[in-house]
């Protein structure tokens, strides 16, 4: 008998249905779903069945010397006992098993973990691997017929990452949390990838705070041509001296002459196919968080609608028949664009800069309708299909016009833009520039000038990172992987290090990063992480061994800890100052003291006055969720707005805590009055 092990339960069911058809029997084995047909049994996991941890003697943070964790032994701990029992039950029934987990480092490790568990129950078990990038009948059948070998080097690279991240994360998190006096649920998280990423956000915020805006002035007017009106701007652009702008306006006549006209056509090349980073960036651009976009993409992948969403590749493989993929969508909601593409003799695709052999770029593998998906799934599916069609389309062509106009010896400019060949901009309409047409005109034409005016402005600071831009920056700096970058951003939100979109750091985040930059800069910069990422790639390629990379990382961490230990008092002071600032909500309306987020002896949270016990002013706070004090301030109560972050839910903007309390109190009194009124009526 043969076995197939997949990474998730719904993948197991789909693969069983594809390979077994109507002959599939479903049953439970140790309360785990298994699917049987002919001489084959298919079982799905729920991710890792083996976890990594330090031994129990290190569990007590206060009693453990943090430095001991650097070289402490790592134990492999079963995480899902019922799943392990089911794996061993399957192992006793089969003589061969095919690992069918996701084909990447993490998936390979999950498969190897399962295989090792099975071989404990059946040492004579033989094994192989199936690789697929889409859960469709043709792809699954082809993958099952063309088995590969289990890649132990790939799994070792993933395990090395797990071990290194555990050692660095646990050791640094404990040190920083103990230094700040933040234990339990309020610990301060530090990580090998997380901290350099947070440093990018904090550094950008520093640039914004340090930015000194400069005033400037521009001059613009309306030109009236016989064929239409258009706006012109002075060719000098921004004037730092307002007097210069004023002299131009003062000396301007009511007539202008066209002195130069340049009309051209500009080709706009199609975008590259989606890899994970580009997909998440595009999803962020239409309002989805990167974590939510990836979650939805995984649903679409498991449903057999799109290819595997974790990929670095931006070049379609030669084996992908582009015409066949298009024919599949001929009668779909995208039929009008597909028909145009199918009319071409040759269908070619755009290419990105990165080409890998593990998975193709993200593309649609089957047709879905709006009715068959929920709203969010349809939006993401629509995005993937449109990008795919765009990559097969012709370039868009824009007509561009640049005009120079002379008014009293001063040169003014105007530019026009019009889409004349839709090309790939037809199916992929996101963020497309708007047409800005100029009237037909010729050099020497006269125009009447009106509404000439001075417009004032200010130079702007660099923008904060949106999630899409941050994902791209992380990829460029080799922080994390295609599979983990969106998770890192989610953790920064969940741990109260950032809020809002684009991302703003809290005072807590700033104090943590400043402490690391001052006393352990290696942790806050990407260099060390880049080096270890390169080493893990070498493990995957079989160039170096897992153990040597882990040993090197322990040595690096040991050097970091020398600096941390020598500066513990300064770090403690810096962290505590930053943490206190993050708890200040505003000014007490009764005594003008500071209002601070506090905890009662019983653990409940409230806003209290720093002048207590002389001042008893207080406001209630929600019982659960991470409280973030934002920059926005209530003009009426001089209190900063609060945001509540709860895992698995959308952020709740509570707003001004005083306004919120008044609203709650009024509603409670109104509800009570209504109840009393009903009681009186009943009497």
CATH class for domain 2-45+80-150?
Answer: alpha beta
**CA-to-CA distance for 166 and 667, rounded, in angstroms?**
48
Confidence check: pLDDT of 211 > 90:
yes
Structure token digits, residue 474: 């992380």
Closest to 560 measured CA to CA, from 523, 589, 530, 591: 523
Task: Provide the pLDDT confidence category of residue 683 given band limits of 50, 70 and 90.
Answer: very low
Encode pLDDT of 64-111 as tens digits: 889 999 999 999 999 989 999 999 999 999 999 999 999 999 999 999
Q: Two tokens at 397?
A: 């062509």
**Residue 477 contacts residue 465 (beta carbons within 8 Å):** no
- Report pTM: 0.88
Query: 402-433 pLDDT, tens per residue?
Result: 999 999 999 999 999 999 999 999 999 998 88
Helix axes 290-302, 485-494, angle to 10 degrees: 130
For residue 89, what are the CA distances in angstroms to 40, 120, 270, 475, 663?
14, 11, 52, 42, 59
Kindly state the DSSP code that residue 353 receives in the 8-state scheme: S
CATH class of 160-210+466-577: mainly alpha
Element (H, E) at 100: strand 96-100
What residues does each domain of the chain span? 2-45+80-150, 160-210+466-577, 215-269+396-458, 276-392, 585-669
Q: Which of helix, strand or coil describes residue 561?
A: helix
- At 103-131, the pLDDT tens digits run 999 999 999 999 999 999 999 999 999 99
Q: Tens digits of per-residue pLDDT, 587-601?
A: 999 888 899 998 887
For range 208-233, the mean pLDDT: 96
10 Å CB burial of residue 209 (0-12, 13-18, 19+) is exposed
The radius of gyration computed from the CA coordinates of the chain, to the nearest angstrom, equals 31
CB 410 within 8 A of CB 257: no
Cα→Cα distances 297→146, 302, 308, 380, Å: 27, 9, 8, 7
Q: How many CA atoms lie within 13 A of 365 on its CB side?
A: 25
Neighbouring CB atoms inside 10 A of 187's CB total 16
pLDDT band at 676 (very low <50, low <70, confident <90, very high): low
CA gap 290, 638 in Å, rounded: 34
What does each C-alpha distance from 11 to 42, 456, 493, 631 come to in angstroms? 10, 60, 30, 45
Position 494 scores a pLDDT of: 85
Name the pairing type of β-strands 40-44 and 2-6: parallel
Residue 393 backbone phi and psi in degrees, to 5: -90, 170
- Which pLDDT value is given to residue 496? 85
Q: Which residues contact 450 (CB under 8 A, 6 or more apart)?
A: 221, 222, 224, 254
Residue 380's pLDDT is: 98
Provide the CATH topology of domain 215-269+396-458.
Topoisomerase I; domain 3 (2.70.20)
Residue closest to 3 by CA, chosen among 82, 81, 100, 79: 100
Share of residues in the chain with pLDDT > 70 (%): 98
Which residue would you say has higher pLDDT here, 632 or 233?
A: 233
**Residue 495 has what pLDDT?**
85
pLDDT tens digit sequence for 332-383:
999 999 999 999 999 999 999 988 878 999 999 999 999 999 999 999 999 9
Q: Please give the average per-residue pLDDT across 558-563, as a whole number.
A: 88
Specify burial of residue 243 (Cβ count, 10 A radius: 0-12, 13-18, 19+). exposed
Q: Are strands 74-78 and 50-54 parallel, antiparallel or unpaired?
A: antiparallel
**Residue 602, pLDDT above cutoff 80:** no
Is the pLDDT at 681 greater than 80? The verdict is no
Q: How many CB atoms lie within 10 A of CB 8?
A: 17
Residue 446 has pLDDT above 90, yes or no: yes
Q: How far apart are CA 34 and CA 30, in angstroms?
A: 10
Residue pair 449/222 in contact by the 8 Å Cβ criterion? yes
How far, in Å, CA of 540 to CA of 104, rounded?
Answer: 10
Please tell me the predicted confidence (pLDDT) of residue 473: 96
Which residues are catalytic, by number?
A: 308
Cis ω before 304 (30° cut-off from 0)? no
What CATH number should be reported for the domain whose range is 276-392?
A: 1.10.290.10
pLDDT at 677: 57
Q: Report whether 306 contacts 297 (CB < 8 A).
A: yes
Q: Which residues pair with 268 in a beta bridge?
A: 396
Lowest mean pLDDT across 285-289, 386-390, 439-443, 674-678: 674-678
CA angle 630, 636, 639 (to 5 degrees): 30
Mean of pLDDT values over 429-457? 94
The whole-angstrom separation of Cα 101 and Cα 483 is 15
Residue 571: per-residue pLDDT: 87
pLDDT of residue 230: 96
DSSP for 473-542, written as a single string: HHHHTT-S-TTTHHHHHHHHHHTTSEETTTTEE-HHHHHHHHHHHHH-HHHHSHHHHHHHHHHHHHHHTT
Query: To the nearest whole number, what is the mean pLDDT of the chain?
Result: 92
Residue 631 phi/psi, 5-degree rounding, is -80, -25
The token pair at 413 is 């400019």
pLDDT of residue 679: 53
Mean pLDDT, residues 638-665: 86
**Alpha carbons 231 and 229: distance in angstroms, whole number:** 7
- The torsion region of residue 409 among left (phi > 0), alpha (psi -120 to 50) and beta comes to left
Which band of pLDDT confidence, cut at 50, 70 and 90, is reported for residue 181? confident
- Locate 277 and state its tokens: 């980073």
Q: What are phi and psi of 667, to 5 degrees?
A: -65, -40
Q: What is the pLDDT of residues 494-540, one digit of tens each?
A: 888 998 889 999 888 998 999 889 888 888 999 988 888 899 999 99
Q: How many CA atoms lie within 13 A of 515 on its CB side?
A: 32
Nearest C-alpha neighbor of 617 from the set 644, 639, 602: 639
């Amino acid at each position: 008998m043969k076995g197939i092990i997949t990474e998730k339960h719904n993948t197991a069911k789909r693969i069983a249905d594809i390979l077994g058809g109507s002959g599939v029997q479903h049953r439970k084995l140790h309360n785990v779903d298994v699917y049987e047909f002919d001489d084959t049994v298919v079982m799905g996991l729920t991710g890792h069945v083996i976890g990594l941890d330090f031994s129990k003697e290190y569990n007590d943070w206060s009693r453990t010397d943090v430095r001991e964790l650097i070289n402490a032994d790592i134990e492999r701990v079963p995480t899902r006992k019922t799943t392990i029992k089911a794996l061993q039950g399957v192992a006793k029934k089969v003589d061969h098993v095919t690992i069918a987990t996701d084909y990447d480092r993490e998936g390979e490790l999950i498969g190897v973990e399962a295989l090792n568990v099975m071989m404990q129950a059946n040492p004579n078990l033989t094994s192989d691997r199936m690789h697929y990038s889409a859960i469709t009948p043709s792809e699954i059948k082809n993958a099952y017929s063309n088995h590969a070998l289990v890649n132990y080097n790939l799994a070792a690279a993933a395990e090395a990452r797990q071990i290194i991240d555990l050692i660095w994360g646990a050791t640094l998190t404990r040190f920083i949390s103990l230094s700040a006096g933040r234990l339990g649920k309020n610990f301060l998280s530090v990580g090998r990838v997380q901290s350099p990423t947070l440093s990018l956000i904090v550094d950008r915020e520093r640039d914004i705070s340090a930015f000194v805006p400069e005033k400037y002035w521009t001059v613009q007017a309306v030109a009236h041509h016989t064929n239409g009106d258009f706006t012109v701007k002075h060719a000098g652009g921004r004037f730092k001296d307002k007097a210069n702008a004023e002299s131009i306006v003062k000396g301007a006549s009511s007539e202008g002459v066209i002195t130069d006209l340049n009309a051209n056509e500009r080709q706009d090349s199609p975008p590259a196919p989606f890899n994970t980073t580009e997909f998440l960036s595009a999803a962020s651009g239409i309002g989805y968080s990167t974590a939510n976009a990836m979650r939805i993409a995984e649903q679409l992948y498991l449903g057999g609608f799109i290819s595997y969403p974790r990929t670095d590749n931006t070049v379609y493989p030669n084996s992908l028949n582009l015409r066949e993929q298009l024919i599949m969508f001929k009668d779909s909601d995208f039929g009008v664009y597909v028909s145009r593409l199918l009319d071409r003799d040759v269908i070619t695709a755009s290419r990105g800069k990165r080409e890998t052999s593990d998975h193709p770029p993200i593309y649609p593998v089957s047709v879905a309708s709006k009715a068959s998906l929920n709203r969010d799934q349809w939006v993401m599916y629509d995005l993937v299909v449109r990008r795919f069609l765009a990559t097969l389309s012709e370039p868009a062509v824009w007509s561009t016009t640049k005009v120079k106009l002379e008014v009293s010896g001063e040169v003014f400019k105007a530019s026009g833009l019009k889409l004349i060949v839709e090309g790939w901009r037809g199916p992929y309409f996101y963020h497309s520039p708007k047409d800005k047409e100029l009237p037909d005109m010729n050099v020497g034409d006269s125009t009447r000038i009106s509404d000439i005016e001075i417009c004032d402005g200010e130079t702007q600071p660099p923008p904060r990172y949106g999630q899409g831009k941050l994902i791209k920056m992380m990829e460029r700096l080799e922080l994390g992987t295609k599979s983990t970058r969106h998770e890192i951003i989610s953790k920064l939100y969940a741990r109260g290090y950032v809020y809002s979109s684009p991302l703003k750091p809290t005072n807590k985040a700033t104090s943590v990063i400043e402490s690391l930059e001052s006393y352990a800069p290696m942790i806050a910069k990407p260099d060390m992480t880049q080096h270890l990422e390169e080493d893990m790639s070498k493990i995957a390629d079989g160039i170096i061994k897992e153990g040597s990379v882990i040993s090197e990382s322990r040595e690096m961490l040991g050097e970091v800890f020398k600096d941390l230990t020598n500066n513990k008092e300064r770090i403690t002071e810096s962290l505590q100052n930053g943490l206190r600032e993050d708890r200040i909500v505003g000014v007490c309306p009764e005594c003008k003291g500071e209002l601070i987020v506090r905890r009662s002896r019983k653990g409940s949270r409230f806003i209290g006055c720093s002048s207590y016990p002389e001042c008893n002013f207080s406001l209630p706070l929600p019982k659960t969720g991470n409280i973030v004090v934002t920059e926005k301030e209530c003009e009426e109560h001089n209190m900063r707005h609060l945001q509540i972050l709860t895992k698995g839910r959308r952020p709740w903007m509570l707003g001004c805590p005083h306004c919120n309390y008044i609203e709650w109190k009024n509603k409670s009194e109104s509800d009570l009055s209504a109840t009393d009124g009903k009681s009186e009526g009943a009497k």
